[in-house]
Structure 1
Amino acid sequence: MSQTRSGATEGVTGNRWLILVAGVLVQLAIGAVYAWSVFSKALQSDQAFGWSKSQATVPFEVAIGMIFIGSYIGGRIQDRRGPKIVALTGGVIYSVGVLLASLATGSSFWLLVLGYGIIGGFGLGMAYIVPIAMLQKWFPDKPGLITGIAVAGFGFGAVITAPVGQRLISATPDMPTKAFLPLGIGYLVAILIGASLFRNPPQGYLPPGFQAPVATTDGHGAAEASGTRDFTANEALSTPQWYLLTAILTLSVVAGISLISVAAGSATDISGLSAAGAATLVGVLGLFNGAGRVLWGWLSDRIGKMPAFMGILGIQGVCLLLIPHASSVAMFAILAALIYTCYGGAFGTMPSTAGRFFGVKNAGAIYGLMLIGWSIGGIVGPLLISKLIGEDKAYTLGFTVVGIIALAGLVVPMITKKPAADRVLAERV
């Protein structure tokens, strides 16, 4: 058996790093969605469409809401047909949606919602799930770190798109949607290059020198059975742990995306930054979104998954309570950076947590289903914060409410433990 496994790994080990780079490239392209606040601010300008804050948030909300549908379908197909076809299909759909959004005008709100929101969001979800599920199979020796790096590309997408998008918008300030044309073309090229390299490792693949662990610890440091059996999607859904993990992801998304959706406007209104300065800050904050995915993914492998999630929710909650009072640019930037870091951290930590709880064989379907938390949070968070802030710019009320929600959510990781594989197996029999 060891000879077979060695033969299976020979000649493919080096490729896994190239596949990791390809996965990050795809995530960079689709992660541009986190630069939406730059476009939202432009759409509200009297020089452009003069839309309300709530109206300008809708395309982003719809896009995040569609991610679950795309990731659910994409994850199911990926587990059966492999990663390349799913990533290529999702990437093309996403790019087409962005290109369609470039045709929207002030009187065609529906077109922006259809292109950027429905079509773009569906393709985004389909492409997003692929590298996360695929790379856990290539890197069983460092799942938290590698999935953190993979999804870091998603967080870093705004670093590139925010300043580029602002420059494109400045060229046609009366028609900011024109910026989506060159952006959509760029996204398509990047995704086609990256996704063309995707593939699963050979059956039975393990990196040289790595042996599957015989035991793990739960999120609280207690020893437990390794849980090497792979759950099916239906089996995972029959456990309370799937719903608890999804709740943790939802709470973190609500907390972080509430700031992300209004980052540019709140930076201007609270700390006095100019529009250009706010756009630059949004881009810089994308670095923390991406870095948080790597940092918390790595940290969760060492301190445990549930302690990591307690840190993520707790830091977000405290910073949200403080940020409406951050009148200086430096203080606003520090608090926002911490929120972005923890928001990204949930996405860097949750894939490996799901893999540890339920196995990696059906990771596409199981984690794809779990991303309903992203969609729920992505709709609730921006809608809640925009309604609370309102036209009166009541940032203290808005961020305080969301901060309290995050802190109250600390109870969920406190009660979450790894499922007993033997119990689920018995129920299956």
Structure 2
Amino acid sequence: MSNKVKNRWLIALCGVGIHLSIGSVYSWSVFTKPLMNQFDWSLSRVSWTFSIAILFLGLAAAFMGHFVEKHGPRKSGIISALFFGLGLLGSGLAINFESLILLYISYGVFGGIGLGIGYIAPVSTLVKWFPDRRGLATGLAIMGFGFASLIASPVINSLIDLVGIAGTFYTLGIVYLGIMLLSSSYLSPPPEGWKPEGYEETMEKRKNKTQDLSQLTANESLKTRRFWFLWVMLFINVTCGIAIISVASPMAQEIAGLSAAAAATMVGIMGLFNGLGRIGWASLSDYIGRPNVYTTFFLIQIVLFLLLPVTTAALLFQISLFVILTCYGGGFASIPAYIGDLFGTKQLGAIHGYILTAWAAAGLAGPVIVSWLREVTNSYTLTLYIFAGAFLVALLVSILIRSDIKKLRKENKDRLAS
């Protein structure tokens, strides 16, 4: 029987394969100028393609979470591959037909649906395969999403020069469809009741045990305070992080006096720290506990957002942004394990999908808030202080959720005693 159990590290590798593929969405900006030059489309009209894709990522994750739990990661991964692959191929057709509407539908809607399903399908499975290393396993996959643009951006740039915009979409569509189908074919949940070798001994050594404090369905989780606490924490972390990403270059030039070239280099390095934060913080959460990791995120960012407006030393300013980006990426990577701790793995994919609506909302709110405040005040100072205040709220929420965890532990202890 044990010989038939799949290799959980290969399952993790398949999750990374899917996330490296769909994470190429973060390379959308590489298409921006070529599309504007070829069709005389405005920046805002081209940028809407990315916004629609992120919106449908959140919507698909929320509405398809139950599908993932019911039909399993393999079938869900295949559907994700078909939507994402066809979305890219359809984008090639949109370029051939010179249709912006078709681009919105193909890349934005179809691609976005593929993103949402592909994001949650491997993550919920990995939490079940790695009950002893939840943070590490989900961090690995979600790190793939963060790192994807580092690989995809130069490839897309070269392909546009070689085969044009349409040819690039066709090529990416075929390649990513193949990678995602291959990765999905090996995905499956572990056998009922399966535990890795040495699981009990490993968990006994951990002082911060928050695993499986309850086993709730997705709809039951919505009725708890702790679900909404997680939602608020993720929303604030992503809103402030994505806002900083959207204005990092001009803000660094304005506050710290970086040149345009130096600021552009800094933005590229930010992507690296975004990815490193996903694996680093998520792995650390296995040892110090998810509640401690999130409280640490918010304490660090309160201090840094208060200091950024007066940090005129270029190196110190950049280091501060890099640390913020590790917290931004770490928030994404640690949330699935936190969900598993608080709600169990019965419908983790569906609950994760509901939580990710915070990402969709933050993706729209963050850039709008920072741009509007910059135009009104002619400075980034007020924006950064407001974000520091938002992180203070997140810190309070991260402390409040501990009372729920303490209560759950007591109930479990009383149940075992009786």
TM-score, length of structure 2 as denominator length: 0.84
Q: Which residue of 1 aligns with 2:63?
A: 73
- The one of 158, 176, 186 aligned to 2:149: 158
Q: 1:59 to 1:216 in 2, by over 3 A?
A: farther
Residues 85 and 100 (structure 1 numbering): CA distance in 2 closer, same or farther, change over 3 Å?
same
Out of 166, 169, 183, the position equivalent to 2:172 is 183
Aligned equivalent of 1:29 = 21
Q: Does 1:382 align with 2:383?
A: no
Which stretch shows the higher mean deviation, 297-306 or 243-252?
297-306
**Cα deviation 1:245-273 (Å, max 9, x = unaligned):** 11111111101111233456656776223
**Which secondary structure does the structure 2 equivalent of 1:77 belong to?**
helix
| CA contact 2:58–2:357 (8 Å) conserved in 1 | yes
Paired with 2:198 and 2:70, the residues of 1 have a C-alpha distance of: 29
Alignment RMSD (CA, Å): 3.5
Q: 2:196 aligns with which of 197, 207, 219?
A: 207
Aligned length: 406
Q: Greater CA deviation, 192-201 or 237-246?
A: 192-201
How do 1:105-184 residues align onto structure 2 when only pairs under 5 Å count?
108-168=99-159, 179-184=168-173
1:56 & 1:392 partners in 2: Cα distance? 27
1:64 aligns with 2:54: yes
Q: Higher helix proportion, which one?
A: 2
Query: How much does 1:368 deviate?
Result: 1.4
- Contact 2:132 2:202 (8 Å CA) reproduced: no
**Matches for 1:307-346 after TM superposition, within 5 Å:** 307-322=292-307, 330-346=315-331
Greater CA drift, 411-420 or 106-115: 106-115
Q: CA deviation at 1:199?
A: 0.9
Q: 1:211 to 1:217 in 2, by over 3 A?
A: closer
1:12 to 5, 9, 14: 5
Aligned equivalent of 2:260, options 261, 266, 273: 273
2:143 and 2:276 in contact (8 A); partners too: yes
Q: What residue is the counterpart of 1:405 in the other structure?
A: 390
Superimposed CA distance per residue, residues 278-301 of structure 1 (whole angstroms, 9 cap, x where no aligned partner): 666544332222211111112222
> Given residue 64 of structure 1, which amino acid in structure 2 is its aligned partner?
I
Deviations 1:131-188 (A, max 9, x none): 110011111111111111121111111111233334445669xx86764443333322
Residue 391 of structure 1: CA displacement? Answer: 11
Cα displacement string for residues 214-261 of structure 1 (whole angstroms, at most 9, x for unaligned residues): 98999xx6x88x655421112211111001111111111101111233
Which residue in the other structure is 2:279 paired with? 294
Using the alignment, how far apart are the partners of 1:60 and 1:164 within structure 2?
19
Corresponding residue for residue 42 of structure 2? 51
Contact preservation (8 Å) 1:166, 1:279: no
Gapped regions of structure 2 (runs ≥ 5): none
- Who is 1:3 aligned against? none
Is residue 66–residue 350 contact of structure 2 (8 Å, CA) maintained in 1?
yes
Q: Is the 8 A contact 2:132 2:203 kept in 1?
A: no
Q: Which amino acid letter does the alignment assign opposite residue 22 of structure 2? A: I
The secondary structure found in structure 1 opposite 2:215 is: coil
Between the aligned partners of 1:259 and 1:106, the Cα distance in structure 2 is 36
2:265, 2:97 → 1: CA distance?
Answer: 25
1:348 pairs with one of 327, 333, 340: 333
Q: Taking structure 1 as reference, are residues 240 and 392 closer, same or farther at Cα in structure 2, changes over 3 Å only?
A: closer
Q: TM-score, normalised by structure 1?
A: 0.82
Is contact 1:94–1:124 with CA below 8 Å preserved after alignment?
yes
- Does the 8 Å contact 1:74/1:129 carry over to 2? no
Structure 2 distance, partners of 1:105, 1:388, is: 39
1:99 and 2:99 aligned: no
1:89 and 2:76 are equivalent in the alignment: no
Q: C-alpha distance in 2, partners of 1:81/1:137? A: 15
Secondary structure of the residue aligned to 1:125 is: helix
* Counterpart secondary structure, 1:271: coil
Secondary structure at the aligned position of 2:121 is classed as: helix
Other structure's SS at 1:416 match: helix
- Counterpart of 1:236 in structure 2 is 221
Q: Which amino acid aligns with 1:253?
A: V
In structure 1, distance between residues paired with 2:307 and 2:243: 14
